[in-house]
Structure 1
């Protein structure tokens, strides 16, 4: 896995996991393109990374939930002469509550960001990632990808993120590109502020650094696995739904999420 001399495009880079991905990649010598909606935060982070690590950090404000945002981003980078070796699909959000009581526009935006943007960005950049082969494709899935989540029904689209990434790991297996889906459990980020409740934080809460370090170490293995669950307790809990009856899995998840 290469860092120095490569450029990593990181979505959702203004806070949380995205910010830590940017810090860990920059610390190892990678240039970074930081993408999120909050330009002021991106500019602050970019300045700090440049000063501390002597790398190039470019902040780009973009609403990735807008269809066509990936193509527009690719065009902007091409105009600046920037090619990307690593893509880290981190941007996403969740919500808590009964599906029938949520605003349709909110549901649509969540699906577009958590699924549509991941697919569009990956399809847009994957050919050049494979052609170069020095970097990685990383997607942030969730332990929610391994089981149904009543009261967070739409966030279950993370199962698509996991499945897509594992499929691409197989499709690109003859290249030197490393492809990984990392699935964290609850993480101490702004995620739960957006969700609107701590009831969605089921299990041990990890720090962003723990999750990013787990992903990076998986990428640095001689043979990168197609997916990894961050944290031993989360790995164990992700296995349980495979063996328990579906009614029991649903009832347990429903109680945990106060559905």
Structure 2
């Protein structure tokens, strides 16, 4: 029974990954900042699925905490067969007038931690000749929605490059590119999404099921739902000037000017 390590496991897509992997009889290592949530989730997973759920409390904006998670991935006596780099955050601010400390934290969580943990996992997995890395990017990687788009663009291209390097090793790398998903993500970022119709939303159950199916077949790019695959194709083919024009759209949010919300 393979073990999966999931970052951002206490809520949102990370929580759904934990449940689907546990019910598929995988042991899990749950990584997030909220110890109370993680401990409660671990107990629920063990009781419901009969698997082993390990709790690893870590703040992925803290380099020392990231290294503790990396050490767990390098552990040869307790091998991890699947790494899910899911932890992320939304910044409801413009870059020029925004809080730079918040920007640096977001960069650490969504870029640096992904790089460090992927390096640790890939090294251990290649040595065993098997394993998989799933990095959560976004369709925003193809747009110009502030630094979030920049971070997710890095994740997407990094994962594609990693997949090329891992070819023939028995280890795969997949970039998951969801759109808007019904989770706590926008609420936590204080982003008002009430104006968006139901058709743009995906369920976390469907997103995670698609992602895991794509990991199993070794897909490099996983984009759940036909509508977001279509949007991604349009964004890739459209002139970048048109994509940038869309990115200049601003809307009022609590009396402030903000970038468009990001998937």
TM-score, normalisation: structure 2: 0.88
Residue 126 of structure 2 corresponds to residue 103 of structure 1: no
Match of 1:183 in 2: 177
Match of 1:113 in 2: 109
1:93 is paired with a residue of what secondary structure? coil
Gaps of 5+ in 2: 252-257
Counterparts of 2:77 and 2:150 in 1: how far apart (Å)? Answer: 37
Residue 52 of structure 2 corresponds to residue 60 of structure 1: no
Cα displacement (A) at 1:33: 0.3
Counterparts of 2:33 and 2:19 in 1: how far apart (Å)? Answer: 19
- Single out whichever of 137-146 and 239-248 deviates more from structure 2: 239-248
Return the match for 1:35 from 19, 24, 31.
31
Q: Would the alpha carbon gap of residues 103 and 142 (structure 1) be closer, same or farther in structure 2, given more than 3 Å must change?
A: same
Alignment of 1:1-259 (within 5 A): 5-75=1-71, 81-149=77-145, 152-199=146-193, 204-221=200-217, 224-255=218-249, 259=259
CA contact (8 A) 1:138 1:179 kept: yes
Counterparts of 1:33 and 1:88 in 2: how far apart (Å)? Answer: 10
Cα displacement (A) at 1:155: 4.0
Cα displacement (A) at 1:70: 2.9
2:56 is paired with a residue of what secondary structure? strand
Counterparts of 1:142 and 1:205 in 2: how far apart (Å)? Answer: 14
Counterparts of 1:125 and 1:220 in 2: how far apart (Å)? Answer: 17
CA contact (8 A) 2:70 2:116 kept: no
Gaps of 5+ in 1: none
Cα displacement (A) at 1:96: 2.6
1:76-95 deviations in whole A, cap 9, x for unaligned?
57789522111100001121
Q: CA RMSD in A?
A: 2.2
Aligned residues: 251
